[in-house]
Structure formats: C-alpha cells, structure tokens
Amino acid sequence: MTAPQVELRTISKHYGPVVAVDDVSLSITPGEFVVLLGPSGSGKTTILSMIGGFVTPTSGEVFIAGQLVTHLPPAKRPSATVFQDYALFPHMTVAGNIGFGLSMHKVAKPERKQRTDSVLGMVGLEGMGGRGVHELSGGQRQRVALARAIAVQPSVLLLDEPLGALDLKIRRQMQEELTGIQRKIGTTFIHVTHDQEEAMSIADIIVVINHGKIEDMGPPQRIYRHPTTCFVASFMGESNVITGTARARQNGEVQVDTPLGNLRAEGDAEEGTEVHLCLRPEQLRLGPGDGDETISLGSATVSETIFQGNHLRVRAQGGANNQVRLLLEVEPDAEVVAGRSIDIHVRMKDIVLLKD
C-alpha cells in the first residue's frame, strides 16, 4: 500500500471549553486533491491550520510524508499555504514575491529565476514578473500567491478558501486552473471551502466536516448521490428528506412506510424505528412510472414553478392531505403549471437511506 502523504491521528483542538476539532483521524494519499468542506465554524480551517503548523493540536499527531510534524513551525514543514487574502508583499514585484520564498529555502539565484519564470508560466502570468502587486487584479494576485507556494515545491499545498474573494466568473476559471495545475505537478492539494459546487468541481475526495468531526468522506459523486447522514444530504445541495418508519428488511433492503407510500432503499434499520430517506430534486420524475425499477410517489399539487434556464424548478405538495413539501427539477419545457396536479415517480436506486 502507498504510504499516506498526510496523516492525522486523533487530533483535537480545544479553545477553553469550546471543542473546535474533535478526535479527527484522516489519511490522504499522495497526489490527491482533497477538499475539506463544511459550514462556517465547523472546524475545517482549524484542521488545515494544524496541518500547516499555524495551530498546535490539543491532542493527537500530524504526519506529513511520514515525518512527525505536530510541533514543528510552518517554515520547517514540507508544506506551503495559500491564503484567501493573498498575503503578498506590497512593496515587492511579482517576481520578488515568488523569489522571497525560494530565498528563504536557500535556493541559488539562477535557480530562483528559473523557477520563478516557470511557475509564472504555469499560472498564466508569463512576462509579468516585473509588475508591482498594486497593478494586479484580484485574480492575478491569487495566481501570484499560488505561484509563490508552488515554487518551493512542497510535499503538500494547503489552500485556505483561496477563491473566496473572487467574483463568480473568475472563481470558476480559477477552479479549472487549480485542477489543471494540480494534475500537472502531482502535488497533494488540501483545499478548504464552504462552497459545495466548488468542492464538487475540483475534488478527488471531499471530506465533510460538521461540529469538529468528519461527517462523511468520499468522491464527489458518491457524496452527492449517496450521502450518509441527514446533514450531508441537506448541506450538499438541495434534497427532499422524507421521514418514515422502517418495516420489513429483506435482501439488503428496508421497506419504509412514508406519507408518499411504501418505499424501499438499500441499507439496514431496526423495524419500527423512524428513518429518513433522501431524494434529490432532479431524481423526482414526472409521470406514474412503470416497471420494477421505479416507484410511484403518487400525485402532487404544484404550488410554484421557476424557469432557471436548463431546468424548471417546481415546488409541489404531495402525500395524503398534501402534507409533504417536494422540490423537483424537470425539463425546462415540461408542461407544469401552478395549481395543477402532477404524477411523480422515482427510480428505486435513487432512494437513499440516511443515518441520523
């Protein structure tokens, strides 16, 4: 087996009575692009800071490239950090900012110039080494911060919400550039964000953090399509979470009585217990359904439709007495009108049984 590039062993961080990170263990494979995702105050930035050496764990150990670094200062760790506020030296040129880190690593002047030119080309800033930082846009400054971190050739690159200050268009462009650079240089990236779309667009592995603990971890597609808990289902995009009662268990499936009828999902639950099912809006389909692979959810009354370009966003009330609120995303030209009734079905494989 490949040795982990970063390993956290039961790390915790307490600030007085406040537990910011609670007994987290995590192993990251070399060359992975890992995103720590969670709401504000979840502990994700504290975890990144403990990897980078800016925060010392209350307990637990941090390893980078097999080296115990728990109590080493940032400058002595084989890692580099890119911050949201760029942290550039305003009195230096672009090349001066990049070269400063290399000089701290005692890289000879000819090699400093060669590396500086190389990383400027990599981040799309060829020929701009002589410019002052004040002459750059926000996106260009972030590229300089990224180039400075890459130039020292760290074992791990840590990115603390580096795109948060950029506008939407530039942020999406930078997301593509980040993944392209990471694939090219093969360095392990650990990126912190609270933006679910950003996480899904750049990550090999998403680690969902909530209340200082790892709530879920896996490839973006799995995290989105098959979340493990109610928190992940609601945090990773929009979802319909249906409450029901577990009934018969057979062949790895649980039958669940819900206000939308008797549904089935893979998993396990004690008979008679309350459970929750996740149905993504785009997985609810119009029509009664047919065959063994689909389950009818009955009819629902449409309360609102909103055209959103590539889909029609539909809110409806379903179940007995219309007590279940549903959100659907259907084809933009679907004949769905507020006040009318629609039939809804779902593929059985899209119903996800959640842990509480």
Predicted pLDDT at 5: 96
Q: What is the structure's pLDDT at 1?
A: 66
CB 330 within 8 A of CB 204: no
The answer to whether the beta carbons of residues 22 and 212 sit under 8 Å apart is: yes
Running along the chain, 356 residues long, what does each successive block of 10 average in pLDDT? Answer: 91 96 97 96 96 97 96 94 84 90 86 91 88 87 89 93 79 88 94 93 96 97 95 93 91 92 91 94 90 88 92 92 92 90 93 89
Residue 273 CB coordination number (10 Å): 11
Class of domain 238-354: mainly beta
Task: Specify whether the CB–CB gap between 187 and 154 falls below 8 A.
Answer: yes
* Rounded Cα gap, residues 253 and 249, in angstroms: 6
Q: What is the DSSP letter of 213?
A: E
- The answer to whether 6-226 and 238-354 have equal CATH topology is no
Residue 133 is predicted with a pLDDT of 87
CATH topology of domain 6-226: Rossmann fold (3.40.50)
pLDDT in tens, 125-180: 888 888 998 888 888 888 898 999 999 999 999 999 888 767 778 888 888 889 99
d(CA 81, CA 161): 11
d(CA 35, CA 221): 14
Contacts of 16 (CB under 8 A, 6+ apart): none
CB 295 within 8 A of CB 319: no
- pLDDT of amino acid 223: 96
Domain chopping of the chain, boundaries = 6-226, 238-354
